[in-house]
């Protein structure tokens, strides 16, 4: 019974996140991106280009361009993700249509503010929907198809890269300043999404398996001023004694750790996991 209640609560929370996230995406496109004449990136950006070129309404083209990507998501990605993505992409299109027909707010003041506002809205929207197990379609689907093959890739960075490519095509319709504002929107979106998804994330937990622990521990301590934990271990297929080193470091130290390991033990095996600080110590996510 308790498991069923937890499942129902999770389903309700995901549904709320999809609804709110979809609304925020539609809000950003309808109220800030399209009326200010710049492209945000992603399928929404392509839709903005087409509407400003006088070809087709954005809420219609948004869904049309998403159809092949939604089909790919259903075939290639997890069914739960695909279903939630179809729901979210549909909601974005429907909400944009309702905003269009009802004369919903359109901000046409400072274009730089419009870029920042839309970036914040997009970042929160994508973070909410992605955390709920879905996406709003478009570049998020492509990013997830890539991370399926390359798990180490970061979704927010992949989305930013695709946004930059689409924004470049925006030069065919918009002026140079529009592209600059679009880049501001995309960078803000990437940062806000990363903060939302990594909330509470303070650093990384490194796990290093080595036969030369003394040199590695001394080098890590000397370089980072941190003392790791060493645990004696044995391989599952070998009786050779090994040591497992655990060390928590702030974000962005992977390259320096890699250099240290290469210098001290080229045969060491290591992996890293995101970690957060809590009242109970390091909590691996």
Mean pLDDT of the chain: 78
- pLDDT values of the chain reduced to their tens digit, one per residue, 285 residues: 555 555 777 788 888 999 999 999 999 988 998 888 777 667 777 777 777 767 788 778 777 877 877 787 777 777 787 888 888 888 988 998 899 899 888 888 888 999 999 999 988 998 888 888 877 777 777 777 787 777 667 766 777 788 777 777 777 777 778 778 888 888 888 788 877 776 655 677 888 888 888 888 888 888 777 767 777 776 666 667 788 888 887 766 777 788 888 888 888 878 777 665 544 444 444
pLDDT of the residue at 279: 40
pLDDT of the residue at 236: 62
Question: How buried is 159 (Cβ within 10 angstroms: 0-12 exposed, 13-18 middle, 19+ buried)?
Answer: buried
pLDDT of the residue at 18: 92
pLDDT of the residue at 16: 92
Compute the radius of gyration of the chain from its Cα atoms.
23
User: 205 forms bridges with which residues in the sheet?
Assistant: 248, 273
pLDDT of the residue at 202: 61
Angle at CA of residue 83, ends 80 and 86, nearest 5°: 145
User: Cβ distance 247 to 238 under 8 Å?
Assistant: no
3-state secondary structure of 284: strand
SS3 content of the chain, % helix, strand, coil (to 5): 65, 15, 20
- Token couple for 94: 């429907």
pLDDT of the residue at 20: 94
pLDDT of the residue at 239: 67
- Token couple for 96: 């944009």
Domains located in the chain, CATH noted? 2-197 (no CATH), 201-284 (3.30.70.120)
3-state secondary structure of 246: strand
CA distance 23 to 13: 15
Q: Please choose, from the candidates 54, 66, 56, the residue with its C-alpha nearest in 3D space to the C-alpha of residue 22.
A: 66
> Looking at 90-181, which runs of residues are DSSP E strands?
none
């Amino acid at each position: 019974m308790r498991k069923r209640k937890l499942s129902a609560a999770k389903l309700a929370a995901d549904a709320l996140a999809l609804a709110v996230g979809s609304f925020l995406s539609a809000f950003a496109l309808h109220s800030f991106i399209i009326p200010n004449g710049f492209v945000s990136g992603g399928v929404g950006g392509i839709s903005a280009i087409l509407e400003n070129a006088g070809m087709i309404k954005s809420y219609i083209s948004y869904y049309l361009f998403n159809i092949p990507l939604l089909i790919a998501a259903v075939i290639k990605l997890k069914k739960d993700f695909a279903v939630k993505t179809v729901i979210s992409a549909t909601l974005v299109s429907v909400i944009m249509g309702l905003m269009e027909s009802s004369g919903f707010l359109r901000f046409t003041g400072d274009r730089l503010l419009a870029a920042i506002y839309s970036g914040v809205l997009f970042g929160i929207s994508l973070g909410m929907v992605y955390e709920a197990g879905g996406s709003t379609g478009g570049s998020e689907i492509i990013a997830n198809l890539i991370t399926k093959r390359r798990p180490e890739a970061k979704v927010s960075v992949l989305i930013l890269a695709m946004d930059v490519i689409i924004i470049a095509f925006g030069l065919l319709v918009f002026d140079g300043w529009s592209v600059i504002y679009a880049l501001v929107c995309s960078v803000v979106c990437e940062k806000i999404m990363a903060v939302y998804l990594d909330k509470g994330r303070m650093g990384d937990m490194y796990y290093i398996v080595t036969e030369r622990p003394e040199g590695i521990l001394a080098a890590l301590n000397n370089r980072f001023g941190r003392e790791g934990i060493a645990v004696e271990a044995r391989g599952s297929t070998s009786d050779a004694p090994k040591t497992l080193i655990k060390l928590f470091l702030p974000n962005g130290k992977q390259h320096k750790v890699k250099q240290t390991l290469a210098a001290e033990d080229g045969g060491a095996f290591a992996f890293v996991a995101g970690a957060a600080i809590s009242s109970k110590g390091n909590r691996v996510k």
